Amino acid sequence: MITKPDQHQLSQVKNLHEELHYHNHRYYVLDDPEIPDSEYDKLLRELQALETQFPELLTSDSPSQRVGAPPLSEFTQVTHLVPMLSLGNAFNETEVLAFEKRLLDRLTNINPDNTITELEYAVEPKLDGLAVSLLYENGILIQGATRGDGETGENITENVRTINSIPLKLSGDNIPQTLEVRGEVYMPKASFEALNNKAREQGEKTFVNPRNAAAGSMRQLDSRITASRNLAMYCYATGRMVGADVPAKHSDALQQLASWGFRICPDSKVVTGAKGCLEYFEEIGSKRDDLSYDIDGVVFKVNSLELQHQLGFVSRAPRWAIAHKFPAQEEMTLLKDVEFQVGRTGALTPVARLEPVFVGGVTVTNATLHNMDEIERKDVRVGDTVIVRRAGDVIPEVARIVPAKRPDNTQKIVMPSQCPVCNSAVEQIDGEAVSRCTGGLVCPAQQKQAIKHFASRKALDIDGLGDKLVEQLFDEKLIENISDLYRLKVEDLIKLERMGEKSAENLIKSLELSKKPTLARFIYSLGIREVGETTAKSLSNHYLSLEAIKEADEENLQEVNDVGPIVASHVVSFFQEDHNNQIIDALFSTGIDPVLPIVVDAKELPLSGNTYVITGTLNKMGRSDAKAQLEALGAKVSGSISKNTTALIAGEKAGSKLTKAESLGVEVLDEEALLKLIKITASDA
């Protein structure tokens, strides 16, 4: 006989939820527990017993649901409602002063009557962890994601749920309908030491630093492993917020987050002017070793959200914020040899092979020497004792030599006259510090790098085609250039080591999905020198077709934003090469069909005022491209369903969003209906 919970049991579960959330917040967020652990465990067991007896009482925000989900087979991709931006860096006082001067000059340019001479900043330690984004709907945590490329990250919801300082359900007043929160997941120093001590006792590999430990823990497919790592999080910003008033200042926004149950860094504060920022930098630096968490600098943000809006962004970074990094960590070691690596554009880069040395939390065996001009300026020779510098994630570099330790038998470093990979001639163009292999796409090194770039996330984003697999495919002679990727078959792939039939089928599917990139992504994927994402987008929006770009001359190209004489020269040179055009033609013959930009009058955007949500797998158009197409027509693309949603675009394997849309009576469109909508609306525009 099936029994249902009575009113007393329903009330009991509700009270246990509230009590456990309260004590969880006091222990992990406020660091001020009111009850002993044994009492907390008793309450939790009482709740678990009721949820076992009555499974219908188990909800996603239950305090019992921190751990225990079965391991995932892989992480899925999610799109952030608001992009997660990167920060520019400052490394000394002069650069911080220049940062504030740029801000004040820009404010004056925007408003000639500007009287601001000194800015107020929200300042905080720059934690050395993993940036994550949390999404709440009506106060309930529904999604956690990594930063990824800033626009798209990996869904790590089950893992963030295991972190006790992240609320599963928000508390307090005026909770927004939709809330996107940004924060840094980190491993406290004490937890890091305990983790490594346990690993040593069991004869296992230890982590080199807390950042690697935190990042590795958050990317576990088994959330039970993540739960055992004792991670924590400090929040530092919001993304999208719907249904609540936004404070006027960043510092007030942090306090607002704290009132909803989030943990914010206690060492954050508000200062005035660049001078206040520099004093804060010195203050935090003096107690860096005594902090309970690792940091690699501090962050300065203009405190006024209105001024932030006025100052705006450049590329993927806000103008109104900067990271002031601590001096790079340096160590001394022996330079044993120098090798020359060939990059995607044929550039030969000298790489120092070093006696292994522990710098900045990792063991370094290689370091960049940049180019021959730098080698000559620093007078670096094989056999020298050198100072190796490493700052954060920056590639280690040979900073300088130690003259007093130079032996008599050092050897000068000489640029090879022939490419070390293909034996083609090496040339140096006047005015450039870089020497290049002239082999072009006949050089295997350049071919490999071109394929890796083509498949990368910011280019065609071919899921499952990582650098190691590219190397393997190339070495097995299954591919020679980017067009060969689309001629691969499952039977070719399963012959490779560690490649099963399912993985092979998934890769072929990813290749098919990549055949409809935006024109901007396609231009970027070709690897034209000096043409990055922003320039590729500018070229796409200006010319509207690849043919028009190919036909443009250098003078015409310089009418495009972000294109100067050097970039124009590289674009023209690229399309004058027969082999480049042959590969592009080969790509088109395999079914590659870039989606061209849609030109509409900004005042007459046909989908303006409409809001769409995309879920599931789209087979003919990637989700990011679908989003771009809809936004180009004036639509807003959201990450969550509400009664105000115009329609849900539901691909294959649509999940809870489809159920919610149906319950709210929101229109549901399949992929064919989406393609029809875009085509008809674009023609109307």
Q: What confidence tens digit (pLDDT) does each residue in 617-656 have?
A: 887 777 777 877 787 777 888 777 888 889 999 888 777 7
What 8-state DSSP symbol labels residue 129?
S
Q: What is the pLDDT of residue 547?
A: 93
Query: What is the percent of the chain where pLDDT is above 70?
Result: 92
More confident residue, 146 or 68: 146
Contacts of 617 (CB under 8 A, 6+ apart): 651, 652, 653
- Regarding pTM above 0.85, the answer is no
Percentage of the chain beyond pLDDT 90 is 43
- Domains present along the chain, CATH in parentheses: 7-66 (1.10.287.610), 120-325 (3.30.470.30), 330-412 (2.40.50.140), 440-513 (1.10.150.20), 519-589 (1.10.150.20), 602-684 (3.40.50.10190)
Q: What is the mean pLDDT of residues 284-303?
A: 92
According to the model, what pLDDT value does residue 74 have? 72
Query: Is 603 a residue whose pLDDT tops 80?
Result: no
User: Residue 529: which of 557, 587, 568, 555 has the closest Cα?
Assistant: 568
Mean pLDDT, residues 246-257 taken together? 95
Q: Is the pLDDT of residue 128 over 90?
A: no
pLDDT tens column, 522-545 = 999 998 888 988 889 889 988 989
For residue 384, give both structure tokens: 């020298």
Average pLDDT of the segment spanning 293-299: 92
Active site residues: 126
Average pLDDT over residues 110-121: 87
Q: Model confidence at 212, in pLDDT bands (50, 70, 90)?
A: confident
* pLDDT band at residue 602 using 50, 70 and 90 as cut-offs: very low
- Whether 380 shows a pLDDT value over 50: the answer reads yes
Pick the closest to residue 586 from 472, 484, 673, 497 (CA basis): 484
Task: Give tens-digit pLDDT for 417-429.
Answer: 999 988 888 888 7
- Write out pLDDT tens, residues 532-590: 888 898 899 889 899 999 999 998 898 887 788 888 988 998 888 787 888 899 999 99
* Mean pLDDT in residue range 467-476: 91
Q: How confident is the model at residue 167 (pLDDT cuts 50, 70, 90)?
A: very high
Q: Is pLDDT at 345 greater than 60 in this prediction? A: yes
User: What is the spatial distance between Cα 437 and Cα 428, in angstroms, rounded to a whole number?
Assistant: 9
Give the closest residue to 160 by CA, choosing from 144, 180, 176.
144
| Positive or negative: CA dihedral 458, 459, 464, 469 | negative
Q: How far apart are CA 364 and CA 381, in angstroms?
A: 19
Task: For residues 309 and 320, give the distance between their C-alpha atoms in angstroms, rounded to a whole number.
Answer: 9
Report how many helices (DSSP H) and strands (DSSP E) the chain contains, helices first.
24, 26
Taking residues 101-119, report their average pLDDT.
Answer: 88
Report residue 646 as tokens. Answer: 């115009």
- The pLDDT tens digits for 326-343 are 876 788 999 999 999 998
What is the reported pLDDT for 2?
58
